Structure 1
Amino acid sequence: MRWFQNATTPADRLPAQVFALMRYTDAMSQGSQNKRCDLAIIGGGASGLTAAIAAGRRGRRVVVCEKMPRPGLKLLASGGGRCNVTNTLPAEAFMERFGPEGRFMGPALAELGGEKLRRFLRELGIETVVDDGLRVWPATRRSETVLSGLLAEAKRLGVRLMLGCEVRSALFAEGCFQLACKAGTIAAEKLILATGGLTYPRLGATGDGYRFAAAFGHSVKPCCPAGVPLLTREDWPGRCKAFTIGKALVRIAVGGQKKRVFNGDVIFTEHGVAGPVILDLSREIPPLLARHGTVPLQLNLCRGRDREDWQAILKGWRHGAVRERLAEHFPPPLAEVLCELAGTAGTAARALGGEPAERLIGLLVETPLTVVGTAGYDQAFITRGGVSLKEVDPDTLESRLCPGLYLCGELLDLDGPCGGFNLQWAFASGYLAGLGR
């Protein structure tokens, strides 16, 4: 039993029941060279395991092919290891957060959205809680709890989980789907692609699912990392590294046009910015970078205060330096940076006025940053792009091009913001695909 080494969570920190289930899945990986089943699933993550459970509950013989030596590695890493499984938004509001294509997920959410997902998890022994009125977590705040529940149900249903089973090719021939892997050939009446996208390559993401989908005739829209920290031309964010600005307003400003405002926490990093609001707006950045080379951002780091607010504040300054007064509103390193950018680093607070004051106020209301890149798939939590939704039936997630083929989760051209959106889609789409309608 050495296959769990170098995983995200060391084996000695895993609950006993998870470790036991890993032994079960490891044993299942051994066996015959050629296998026949009702349903083969490529991918043993949240979407693939949920699909396996849905199919297994309907009496189908299911084989899950997971190329990594452990199942659910991305699930274990989700939510910082705490696993934000969904949120409390109504279905309509939930779908809106995915943009114009969000309504595609309606049938999947009707099967396993929101409260239905929580009931499903409760049936598996996974209690969930809401701690901020929106995000839903396992009560343990541990992603291992969710994975162990899924594995236990898969075991109960007789699902065959093959670990270290990398599928080299997938085709439809002689009346069935045939998967070629090192252990031999797997033949199945139906096939689900639940491989995920390109995020977290260290956890096994290579984009195999896109290759398989293309082999069955599907078109794949260009992919890029989303939910990802941004890199900036300016180096001053590194001086403020690890400081968080709450309730910041961030606007993308391209070609003189200001796009919609994003609201949330900003975290400064060594080479740019991160935090929830940055991860949300980052979905729009790669196409703009491809078109323009750089993307200007305008940040209001003072909880939405406008020019009039700051004019009133500055009038009340009587003592100390401008930098000291700003440090009452911002982390000291950021206060120092703002003073330097405005040319007021050595100015006494009571002497600030005229053009220097207006320049400082302008920076406080709209602090400029220039995005030159993203931190890439290594730090992204979702892939934007993927298999075209036009080629998949939303009522079943069956391919419109190849009967018996189903696609789900991150593999499809559908991505949402952080906050339980994408994991909810993984569960719901996997469940709908597993029904095999």
Structure 2
Amino acid sequence: MTHYDLIIIGGGPAGLFAAARAGAGGARVLVLEKMAEPGRKLLITGSGQCNLTHAGDMPGFFGHYGKGGSFLKPALRHFTNTDLVSSFTALGVPLKSGEDEKIFPVSRKAQDILDALLADCRKHGVAIRCGEAVRGVERSGDGFCVTTAAGEYRSTFLLIATGGASYPSTGSAGDGYAFARALGHTIAATAPALTPVTIRDYPFSDLAGISLQNCTVSLFREGKKVDGFCGDLLLTHNGLSGPVILNASRFILPGDEVRVSFLPEEQRDDLVQTLTGCGATRVNTALSTFHLPERLQKRLVDRAGIPPEATCAHLTRASRNRLVQIFTGHQMTVEALGGYRIAMVTRGGVALDEVNGKTMGSRIADGLFFAGEVLDIDGDTGGYNLQAAFSTAALAADAVLKRLKSAGSS
């Protein structure tokens, strides 16, 4: 039986990147992937275009991970977005930032990223065994024993990089949580995140596909405002999506109320002035200066109970206030959040207080490491989750190499 320096469970971006990095440092590495091919979830990121990371300096990243931002600081500083761009450029996959500062491969093909990772693993002698679902993990002497249907594998170090539970059809089904528990770790409650929401008695089904920029969404629970978000909004056939909703979904519960401003916050006063100062101008004509999609504008006016032929002069104070409220604080109740089948990431995972953020090493089981979404970390859309996967993978791989070097010189 071959004894490996490092066994990695999971052949996604974090697992493959850590494998290649550890292999480049001289470690004997085995990757175990339960699917027939590695990297299936990577291939669907960014609608197949693979939004790898985001532009900007690292301090700007920390606020995009909620409570996990502080934990991630050492990893993000150890392996930055600039490092990530340089790494893939060196692997023959140039990256480019768009106007929204999202960074993609120039080719806009996720397959190019996966091919580069696999080629780098081959270059550094990494063994990748696909179609081998891990059945169990346990401590064995000074290392670990990992069991699959094909047999047992042993290693000095173990890295769990199985991802979360979202998009289970790609192999990301939450397996890593059971492995972590078996080795003594606590799992913070998991739930779908970065997912659309369905709305109770939704009034915009026939307007699905309309998108709006710079909308404000306020989140209310039991009548009290608990959070607020700003970003692009997409109307779907049964609810709301787009970056502002996806990012907010990590904090939304069924039954919560969302109040949507279809106009940027700074235009609220302009809206009031327009409605009070346009006299004989029809309401719909006066509102056209705000450049909302025409069908949406007419629907909002209708929902305010205002006839299409009404002029601004016809508006009572009550009807004007109702119209302003509809445009800048439309109230909707969340029926449900999209499930794991469509959620981009998973909220919850391996408890962060049981992991050393400076190494990604377990505080419970010596020699055990974690990388990527299996941890209780979830970031905003825009490349933040993949950056976290690569950064934690790099930090874990380097920590393993440091331990191996130290053991070799002792």
**TM-score band, normalised by the shorter chain?**
over 0.9
- Tell me how far 1:260 sits from its aligned partner: 4.0
Q: How does 1:121-140 map to 2 (within 5 A)?
A: 121-132=88-99, 134-140=101-107
| Residue from 335, 338, 343 that aligns with 2:297 | 335
Q: Distance in 2 between matches of 1:51 and 1:126?
A: 18
| Residue from 314, 339, 349 that aligns with 1:352 | 314
Aligned to 1:368: 331
Q: Distance in 2 between matches of 1:307 and 1:159?
A: 58
Q: Distance in 2 between matches of 1:421 and 1:299?
A: 25
Q: Does 1:302 align with 2:269?
A: no
Q: Does 1:190 align with 2:153?
A: no
Q: How does 1:109-148 map to 2 (within 5 A)?
A: 109-132=76-99, 134-148=101-115
- Tell me how far 1:117 sits from its aligned partner: 1.3
Q: CA-to-partner distance for each residue in 1:344-381, whole Å, 9 max, x for gaps?
A: 13442255311222211221121111112111111111
What SS does the corresponding residue of 1:419 show, helix, strand or coil?
A: coil
From the superposition, tell whether residues 307 and 77 of structure 1 become closer, same or farther in structure 2 (CA, over 3 Å). Answer: closer
Runs of 4+ in 1 over 4 A off after TM superposition: 323-328
- Tell me how far 1:215 sits from its aligned partner: 0.3
Q: Distance in 2 between matches of 1:239 and 1:357?
A: 26
From the superposition, tell whether residues 410 and 233 of structure 1 become closer, same or farther in structure 2 (CA, over 3 Å). Answer: same
Q: Does 1:429 align with 2:378?
A: no
What SS does the corresponding residue of 2:245 show, helix, strand or coil?
A: helix
Aligned to 1:312: 273
Is 378-387 or 104-113 further displaced after alignment?
104-113
| Residue from 81, 100, 113 that aligns with 2:48 | 81
* Residue pair 1:396, 1:433 contacting (<8 A) in 2 also: yes
Q: Distance in 2 between matches of 1:425 and 1:140?
A: 22
Aligned to 2:363: 400
From the superposition, tell whether residues 346 and 122 of structure 1 become closer, same or farther in structure 2 (CA, over 3 Å). Answer: closer
| Residue from 378, 385, 405 that aligns with 2:348 | 385
* Residue pair 1:306, 1:365 contacting (<8 A) in 2 also: no
* Residue pair 1:307, 1:362 contacting (<8 A) in 2 also: no
Amino acid at match of 1:143: A
Q: Where in structure 2 are there 5+ consecutive unaligned residues?
A: 403-410
What SS does the corresponding residue of 2:356 show, helix, strand or coil?
A: coil
- The normalised TM-score by structure 2 is 0.92
Q: CA-to-partner distance for each residue in 1:179-208, whole Å, 9 max, x for gaps?
A: 111221111111100000011111112211
Q: Does 1:59 align with 2:20?
A: no
What SS does the corresponding residue of 2:65 show, helix, strand or coil?
A: coil
| Residue from 379, 386, 407 that aligns with 1:416 | 379
From the superposition, tell whether residues 327 and 202 of structure 1 become closer, same or farther in structure 2 (CA, over 3 Å). Answer: farther
Amino acid at match of 1:339: V
* Residue pair 1:237, 1:273 contacting (<8 A) in 2 also: no
Q: Where in structure 1 are there 5+ consecutive unaligned residues?
A: 1-33
From the superposition, tell whether residues 215 and 310 of structure 1 become closer, same or farther in structure 2 (CA, over 3 Å). Answer: same
Amino acid at match of 2:366: P
What SS does the corresponding residue of 1:101 show, helix, strand or coil?
A: helix
What SS does the corresponding residue of 2:41 show, helix, strand or coil?
A: helix
Kindly, what percent of the aligned residue pairs are identical? 35
| Residue from 191, 196, 200 that aligns with 1:224 | 191
- The normalised TM-score by structure 1 is 0.87
